[in-house]
């Protein structure tokens, strides 16, 4: 990601007029062509406003800017700015890159996989941070990663297993911690099971039933996910990109109940 910091030096008393201009002309044009507004700030003396925009790369920024400058709304905005007079004394911009991910997101998206082998056993792990319970493998979705890519990666990292996914069996929200978890169900394909250093201490397949699952999975919110996945109703899943539209992954199984 790259960030564009645009700062406007205003004549005193013109913050409201500039904000109106920004929301009527600048913001909708930027959003229409794919820019992401990180935020806007005004200084204490109310004569300088800074806007921060995010782009995937410089090529995307240049494409968006070219589209904006060719748009009718941009031409209307230029005309409006002349009508407003010299409320903007000066403007400047610079491009920045992040030094790292130093903040926790407001919401965390995670994925888990209910994986069975040919014997109908379920893949379970014991996490170092949750030694009191076993659980199905999974973890946090990384930036610019699809849900399907994330669940494959997490299962491979935590267990060594290569898997194939059938569909999504449930979506679970931990409101207390701000975590949204999506559970996939799939099949074990290959790979030697092993633990992940500093992550999992035990990896195994176990035969689970509605009556014995609580012996292995002792935390209620983990247990609910597994019981739901035992007899799932699948929901469609699609990951895509836009501008241009491009489908990355699809899982569209027929709606059915597994016995």
At 254 the pLDDT is: 65
At 243 the pLDDT is: 82
At 258 the pLDDT is: 46
CATH number corresponding to 108-251: 3.90.79.10
At 183 the pLDDT is: 98
Residues in the chain where the model's pLDDT stays below 50: 255-259
**For residue 52, which of 75, 89, 27 has the smallest C-alpha distance?**
27
Tell me whether residue 150 is exposed, middle or buried, using C-beta atoms within 10 angstroms of its C-beta: 0 to 12, 13 to 18, 19 or more. Answer: buried
At 257 the pLDDT is: 45
Sign of CA dihedral 9, 12, 17, 19: positive
**For residue 92, which of 188, 5, 14 has the smallest C-alpha distance?**
5
Can you say whether residue 128 is alpha, beta or left, with left for phi > 0 and alpha for psi between -120 and 50 degrees?
Answer: alpha
Q: Which of 3.30.450.20, 3.40.120.10, 3.40.225.10, 3.30.70.100 is the CATH number of 2-97? A: 3.30.70.100
At 95 the pLDDT is: 97
Using an 8 Å Cβ cutoff, are 158 and 193 in contact?
no
Q: Kindly list the domain boundaries of the chain, sorted by start residue.
A: 2-97, 108-251
């Amino acid at each position: 990601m790259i960030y564009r910091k645009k700062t406007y030096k205003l004549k005193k008393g013109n913050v409201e007029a500039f904000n109106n201009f920004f929301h009527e002309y600048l913001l909708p044009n930027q959003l229409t062509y794919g820019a992401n507004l990180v935020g806007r700030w005004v200084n204490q003396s109310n004569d300088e406003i800074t806007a921060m925009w995010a782009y995937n790369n410089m090529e995307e920024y240049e494409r968006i800017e070219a589209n904006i400058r060719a748009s009718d709304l941009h031409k209307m905005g230029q005309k409006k700015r002349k009508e407003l007079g010299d409320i903007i004394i000066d403007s400047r911009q610079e491009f920045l890159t992040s030094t790292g991910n130093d903040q926790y997101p407001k919401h965390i998206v995670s994925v888990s996989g209910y994986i069975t082998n040919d014997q109908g056993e379920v893949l379970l792990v014991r996490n170092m941070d949750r030694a009191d319970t076993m659980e199905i493998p999974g973890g946090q979705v990384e930036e610019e990663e699809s849900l399907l890519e994330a669940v494959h990666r997490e299962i491979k990292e935590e267990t060594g297993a290569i898997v194939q996914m059938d569909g999504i069996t449930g979506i679970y929200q931990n409101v207390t911690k701000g975590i949204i978890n999506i559970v996939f169900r799939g099949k074990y394909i290959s790979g030697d099971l092993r633990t992940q250093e500093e992550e999992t201490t035990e990896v195994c397949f176990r035969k689970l039933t509605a009556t014995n699952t609580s012996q292995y999975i002792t935390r209620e919110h983990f247990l609910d996910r597994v019981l739901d996945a035992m007899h799932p109703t699948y929901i469609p899943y699609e990951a895509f990109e836009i501008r241009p539209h491009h489908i990355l992954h699809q899982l569209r199984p027929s709606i059915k109940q597994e016995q």
